Amino acid sequence: MKDTTLISGLYAIIDSSYISLEAAGECAELLAAGGARLIQLRAKGSGSAAMLKAAQDIRKALSGKAVFMVNDRVDIALLSGAEGVHLGQEDIPLKEARRLMPSSIIGVSTHNIEEAKRAEGEGADYISFGPIFPTVTKKDADAPKGVKRLREVASKVDLPVVAIGGITIENARQVMETGASSVAVISEILLAPDIRGKVSEISALISMR
Nearest 10 degrees: Cα torsion 50, 56, 62, 68: 80
Give the bridge partners for 87, in sequence order.
108
Which residues, 6+ apart, have CB-to-CB distance to 179 below 8 Å? 151, 154, 155, 161
pLDDT at 140: 63
- Count of domains forming the chain: 1
Q: Residue 104's domain spans which residues?
A: 4-206
Asked if the model's pLDDT at residue 23 lies above 90, the reply is yes
Rg of the chain in Å (alpha carbons): 15
Across the range 96-107, mean pLDDT stands at 97
pLDDT at 2: 67
pLDDT at 209: 56
Here the CATH number for the domain that contains residue 82 is 3.20.20.70
Asked if the model's pLDDT at residue 122 lies above 80, the reply is yes
Catalytic residues: 42, 109, 138
Query: What is the distance between the alpha carbons of residues 143 and 130, in angstroms, rounded to a whole number?
Result: 9
Asked if the model's pLDDT at residue 25 lies above 80, the reply is yes
Percent of the residues in the chain that have a pLDDT greater than 70, as a whole number: 96
Q: How confident is the model at residue 142 (pLDDT cuts 50, 70, 90)?
A: confident
Query: What is the distance between the alpha carbons of residues 1 and 38, in angstroms, rounded to a whole number?
Result: 17
pTM, entire model: 0.95
Q: What is the per-residue pLDDT across 31-87, written as a single tens digit (0 to 9) for each?
A: 999 999 999 999 999 999 999 999 999 999 998 899 999 999 999 999 999 999 999
Q: How confident is the model at residue 207 (pLDDT cuts 50, 70, 90)?
A: confident
Q: Judging by beta carbons within 10 Å of its beta carbon (0-12, 13-18, 19+), is residue 171 exposed, middle or buried? A: middle
Q: What is the per-residue pLDDT across 73-89, written as a single tens digit (0 to 9) for each?
A: 999 999 999 999 999 99
